[in-house]
Structure 1
């Protein structure tokens, strides 16, 4: 149809319009009309071509043939994928390879550029003979991936996974063997230790052994002291200190305070101080076991200074953060015992420690009151216990206002710092006494001048908040309160 339209258009272009020819117009009159008509027919022809039906479209015979060939090859490949491939047996000469034939591994394959056929020949005669033997045994050859069927690929993937699992299992076994080589089982170690007469003990077993050694009548003084020294190391741990209660070890150590040997008293108090520290359960058991009375007796009697240091350490650990023990301390006359202790000559070191203890006890109660106000809880059990500790009135009655003020004359800066803190804590109770104490006023004025000079040196060295400036600030604050 379109070929006919093209031919008609060619005739019109060559001979002119038949209509114009029949009208008999002269050639000079026909030229413009012919051109207009030709343009209109060309437009119609273009429109027809752009809207032609695909069924009547012009086709290329070569293109149709190529598409048909591709469809046939695709169909052939799909058919080959579902069947077992035929193994090609190459030689040392180039041979054409037919579709559907598999090539053994190690063969040379080339594409003939003129014919488009694939050609194959052997690479190595020995390798070919080995592959041929494998074929005769019924084994599949290791051929190129594009010649496998889908089932072959699935089987290969399954074998690959199985091989990976086996490899992983081998690595795990090797790692386990290495661990066994580096670390031995506990049973073997115990056996070796038994042969060497070495016993593996827990902390509990060690503490039981040490208590037995200390409590044995056959142990020498050196063995008892060594047992207490080792025991102090273990009871620093809270759990171990509580375990000491489970087999009666704590009471054995408390009873050691009654011994006649000063060293036994000293190291027994050393163990108790470590066990009491921040351990309420042990503190309660110690009060019930009579530890407080025994400690106060040692402080009130003639004992070496080293013994009293360790006993004072145990007393401080027992009283801190334990209001019930503080109540018992006041009832047993603890303030009188401490007053006698610090007034003895040569006990200045203990005096500073006693003042520090009293400062801690006073501030504990103050902090408990402040915490109750902040939390709007005015009746917790611990606060009620602190309110039953009338420490400040007892300090004033026992003359601690004057004792503390006199300690300010100590030469050490650290001791002065502790005394100034305690004076400030006692200010609510001892304010009138401080104002009437002229010696305290002179001492504070002297210290003010001394620390002004030392603070000035700190400022020259570039220290804006030095140690001596803090001490000077404490003195100035106390003087301001006493005016």
Structure 2
């Protein structure tokens, strides 16, 4: 019992001495304040961190690093640093704080190191350069005066031309005796671009430009003929006002004359484009076309064309004319007719297209296009044959070559349809051609 009392007394004595040692250390370092940890416990180990408040006095400030370093008496640390009291050694230790550590990345260090290498001479040179660049005389030499800019802008405003002014200038240049053929070709190209706008095409006619175009069609230079036909076709496309003026100016007769004479393929292609544009959705022009032997001219051109390019364009044009008249007739069955629609129906009734096609032998001409190897040519021929079926059905049934062509094409395109289905195209282009063939064969039964 006595032994246990002695041991307890000894332990108490050691604890008292240890506390006195701590009190002396803390009292000696008046700048140190031990802060409780977040969980409420006081720092009691060598690895526990605390924060320190430093009095505002003239102390030696230590720059902390990522590693713990020992603080000497009288030294202070920047705010935000982590400071701990090592209870084993009795020394204060410091390292950089967590927030500072995040900021103090490797990239920042390298930047700081680079910035720290800038010499005073470099700073003086940079300041001198800045002053030179900010010199008013130097800035003024790089830019034009405001009054001069305003004067130039005013001159630019005067050079802006409207489409009407441009067309007038182009026509004057075209009429000039000093203009070369190359210049006139360039002028026609610019006019073709402008006349796509409806108002511009009408204005060009009122300026007399239509007559210049017709003169170009009669030129001996095939390039002027081709370009003039291109401008005319673009001007009359979907433009009834210009279509009327073109027909009244004799443009249709001029175009048919060019088609009836020996001309290069490139010229005839552009002339056919102009004819198709002049006839499209315009029964007045179609009636003049038939009365001037247009179908006869096209039939001769069809027979002479061996490549199929002109044949395809001719057949497409005929198909469009037949379809337009059919659509107008069908629309009148379901709709309440107004005055303009009744007038269009009346005008189309005066176009005896079906009779002319039958008389001029087109029922036997169009099937010849099926002999082409081009799928597009065959498709257009089949569509035209279907449109002409009401007037040509008897001749179709007597045409053994047509019957054989349809059977051969059906077998050929059915194989192609199978190939389309293999790659996942159930309703492809070739399937559409097969449907056209079946429809025509059904009508011929």
TM-score in terms of structure 2 length: 0.64
Alignment of 1:382-401 (within 5 A): 382-401=344-363
Counterpart of 1:279? 239
- Tell me the distance in 2 between the aligned counterparts of 1:187 and 1:233: 33
- Tell me the distance in 2 between the aligned counterparts of 1:204 and 1:294: 27
Q: 2:159 aligns with which of 195, 199, 204?
A: 199
Q: Deviations over 1:403-450 (max 9, x none)?
A: 001111111001100000000000000000000000000000000100
Decide whether the 8 Å contact of 1:190 with 1:200 is kept in 2.
no
- Tell me the distance in 1 between the aligned counterparts of 2:317 and 2:189: 25
- Tell me the distance in 1 between the aligned counterparts of 2:165 and 2:244: 24
Counterpart of 1:341? 301
Secondary structure class of the residue paired with 2:159: coil
- Tell me the distance in 2 between the aligned counterparts of 1:260 and 1:395: 33
- Tell me the distance in 2 between the aligned counterparts of 1:387 and 1:345: 32
Secondary structure class of the residue paired with 1:426: helix
Counterpart of 2:171? 211
Decide whether the 8 Å contact of 1:342 with 1:350 is kept in 2.
yes
Note the aligned Cα RMSD (angstroms): 2.1
Q: Deviations over 1:55-109 (max 9, x none)?
A: xxxxxxxxxxxxxxxxxxxxxxxxxxxxxxxxxxxxxxxxxxxxxxxxxxxxxxx
Secondary structure class of the residue paired with 2:201: helix
Counterpart of 1:92? none
Secondary structure class of the residue paired with 1:337: helix
Aligned length: 298
- Tell me the distance in 2 between the aligned counterparts of 1:290 and 1:190: 47
Counterpart of 1:436? 398
Q: Does 1:243 align with 2:203?
A: yes
- Tell me the distance in 2 between the aligned counterparts of 1:204 and 1:473: 50
Counterpart of 2:122? none
Counterpart of 1:353? 313
- Tell me the distance in 1 between the aligned counterparts of 2:208 and 2:383: 40
Q: Does 1:293 align with 2:247?
A: no
Secondary structure class of the residue paired with 2:220: coil
- Compare CA radii of gyration and give the structure with the larger one: 1
Alignment of 1:398-477 (within 5 A): 398-477=360-439
- Tell me the distance in 2 between the aligned counterparts of 1:345 and 1:361: 21
Decide whether the 8 Å contact of 1:280 with 1:322 is kept in 2.
yes
- Tell me the distance in 2 between the aligned counterparts of 1:248 and 1:407: 41
Counterpart of 2:322? 362
Counterpart of 2:226? 266
- Tell me the distance in 1 between the aligned counterparts of 2:380 and 2:371: 12
Gaps in structure 1 of 5+ consecutive residues: 1-182
Q: 1:221 aligns with which of 181, 185, 189?
A: 181
Q: Does 1:315 align with 2:275?
A: yes
Decide whether the 8 Å contact of 1:341 with 1:347 is kept in 2.
no
- Tell me the distance in 1 between the aligned counterparts of 2:151 and 2:164: 23
Post-superposition offset of 1:471: 0.6
Q: Deviations over 1:185-233 (max 9, x none)?
A: x985553338xxx822111111111112222222111011111011101
Decide whether the 8 Å contact of 1:269 with 1:311 is kept in 2.
yes
Decide whether the 8 Å contact of 1:208 with 1:249 is kept in 2.
no
Distance change (3 Å), C-alpha of 1:410 and 1:433: same
- Tell me the distance in 2 between the aligned counterparts of 1:346 and 1:223: 35
Counterpart of 1:53? none
Q: 1:302 aligns with which of 258, 262, 287?
A: 262
